[in-house]
């Protein structure tokens, strides 16, 4: 019986829930019908269901809603860039402004300067003189002098040292001591040097060189050598040794140098064929030189002379028996 009562109760609850759902359905249907009926009365019209609060608001808020966000971003970047340009301009204008105060001279100040010794301004200030200035006395500058334009000096200029970094034009330049030129020097006029000129490098001259005396260690001629006067050859006299061709009691005298000279011979008794003398050079030649010998006097020709030569010495010899107790000589000229 208890099970029958449970079944009865469950069926009763099921009927109640079905009834509730049917009632909810009918209420929804009625609601839908009402809405449809109401909608039928407004056919052909657009109904604005937007709440009234959404249509209200400040003009700025409505403008922000309508304007594109990218346009706002572009305007913001323009404002930032303009601010940066303005700050940079003001900073550069402040930097370019004169940090050193300037001071101008009035007429009263100029009169005061003309009658007394006056200190004008401070070391960090700049003195501007708009008109021309004439100094009747001396001008002493304790620090460096900077000139933006050219300098014209009417008289002599005496300085212990001058350094020229650019081009300079001098009508007349006198150097009492040394002149040092690190770069190239071009002289279009006449150059007069009263003392010595020392050149450690090479020198090129487009025109003739005139000098009373010219001393060189090595002279190389690429062209012809023209001499309008005599050739004077100097140098020390070389050593000599006598040979058997002089004979008994014969003598020989030598004058000259390694390049040119003369030999005077006085034969004695019973001279024989052989060498009169051997001349040893003061400085040896690099190779065997050319020795030119000229006989002086007929007795020299009778001896039948000849020459032996080397890089260190040369000998004048006779192929025949020279004449006894005779005087004659030889001249020699040597080139390598």
Residue 64's pLDDT is what?
A: 63
Residue 50's pLDDT is what?
A: 45
**Token pair listed for 250:** 């014969």
The tokens 């300085």 sit on which residue? 159
User: Is 276 within a domain?
Assistant: yes
For residue 253, give Cα distances in angstroms to 44, 190, 283, 312, 330: 156, 50, 20, 20, 11
Spatial contact of 335 and 271, defined as CB atoms under 8 Å apart: no
User: Is 145 within a domain?
Assistant: no
**Token pair listed for 198:** 């020392």
Q: Give the residue numbers spanning the domain of 310.
A: 239-335
How many residues comprise the chain?
Answer: 336
Indicate left, alpha or beta for 64 from its phi (over 0: left) and psi (-120 to 50: alpha): alpha
What is d(CA 216, CA 203) in angstroms, rounded to the nearest whole number? 13
Secondary structure, 3-state, 257-303: CCCEEEEEEECCECCCCEEEEEEECCCCCCCCCEEEEEEECHHHHHC
The tokens 């005599």 sit on which residue? 230
H or E element, residue 30: helix 2-40
Number of domains in the chain: 2
User: Is 79 within a domain?
Assistant: yes
Spatial contact of 284 and 311, defined as CB atoms under 8 Å apart: yes
User: Is 133 within a domain?
Assistant: no
pTM: 0.45
For residue 219, give Cα distances in angstroms to 154, 200, 222: 44, 16, 10
**Token pair listed for 195:** 């003392």
Residues 6+ positions from 281 with CB-CB distance below 8 Å: 238, 258, 311, 312, 313
Looking at 49, 69, 92, the residue that finishes a domain is 92
For the chain, the helix, strand and coil percentages under 3-state DSSP, each to the nearest 5: 30, 20, 55
| DSSP secondary structure letters along 110-178 | HHHHHHS----S-TTSEEE--S----SS----SS----SS----SS----S-----S----S----SS-
Spatial contact of 260 and 333, defined as CB atoms under 8 Å apart: yes
Residue 23's pLDDT is what?
A: 40
User: Is 137 within a domain?
Assistant: no
Which DSSP state fits 83? H
Distance of CA 114 to the CA centre of its chain: 47
Question: What SS3 state is found at 29?
Answer: helix
What is d(CA 326, CA 249) in angstroms, rounded to the nearest whole number? 12
User: Is 228 within a domain?
Assistant: no
Residues forming a β-bridge with 294:
331
User: Is 87 within a domain?
Assistant: yes
CATH number for the domain including 268? Answer: 2.60.40
Which among 297, 313, 206 is positioned nearest to 305, based on CA atoms? Answer: 297
Looking at 92, 111, 134, the residue that finishes a domain is 92
Q: How confident is the chain (336 residues) per 10-residue block, as mean pLDDT?
A: 43 43 39 39 41 56 67 86 90 62 69 68 75 80 78 74 72 73 74 76 78 82 86 92 95 96 96 96 96 95 94 96 96 95
Looking at 73, 92, 111, the residue that finishes a domain is 92
HSE, side-chain direction, 13 A CA sphere, residue 36: 6
Question: What SS3 state is found at 202?
Answer: coil
User: Is 223 within a domain?
Assistant: no
Question: What SS3 state is found at 331?
Answer: strand
């Amino acid at each position: 019986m208890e099970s029958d009562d449970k079944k009865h109760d469950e069926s009763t609850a099921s009927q109640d829930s079905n009834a509730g759902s049917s009632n909810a359905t009918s209420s929804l249907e009625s609601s839908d019908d009402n809405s449809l009926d109401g909608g039928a009365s407004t056919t052909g019209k657009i109904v604005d269901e937007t709440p009234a609060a959404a249509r209200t608001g400040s003009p700025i808020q409505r403008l922000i809603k309508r304007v594109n966000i990218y346009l706002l971003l572009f305007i913001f970047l323009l404002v930032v860039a303009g601010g940066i340009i303005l700050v940079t301009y003001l900073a550069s204008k402040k930097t370019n402004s004169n940090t050193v105060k300037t001071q101008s001279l009035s007429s009263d100040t100029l009169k005061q300067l003309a009658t007394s010794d006056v200190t004008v301004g401070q070391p960090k200030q700049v003195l501007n003189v708009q008109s021309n200035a004439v100094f009747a006395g001396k001008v002493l500058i304790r620090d460096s002098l900077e000139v933006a334009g050219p300098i014209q000096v009417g008289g002599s200029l005496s300085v212990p040292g001058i350094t020229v970094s650019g081009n300079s034009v001098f009508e007349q330049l006198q150097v009492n001591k040394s002149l040092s030129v690190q770069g190239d020097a071009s002289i279009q006029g006449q150059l007069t040097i009263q003392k010595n000129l020392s050149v450690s490098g090479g020198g090129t001259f487009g025109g003739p060189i005139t000098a009373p005396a010219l001393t060189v260690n090595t002279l190389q001629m690429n062209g012809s050598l023209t001499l309008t006067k005599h050739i004077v050859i100097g140098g020390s006299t070389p050593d000599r040794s006598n040979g058997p061709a002089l004979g008994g009691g014969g003598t020989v005298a030598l004058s000259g140098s390694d390049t040119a000279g003369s030999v005077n011979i006085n034969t004695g008794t019973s001279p024989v064929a052989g060498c009169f003398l051997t001349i040893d050079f003061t400085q040896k030649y690099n190779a065997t030189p050319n020795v030119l010998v000229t006989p002086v006097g007929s007795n020299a020709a009778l001896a039948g002379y000849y020459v032996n030569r080397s890089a260190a010495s040369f000998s004048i010899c006779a192929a025949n028996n020279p004449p006894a107790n005779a005087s004659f000589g030889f001249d020699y000229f040597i080139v390598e």
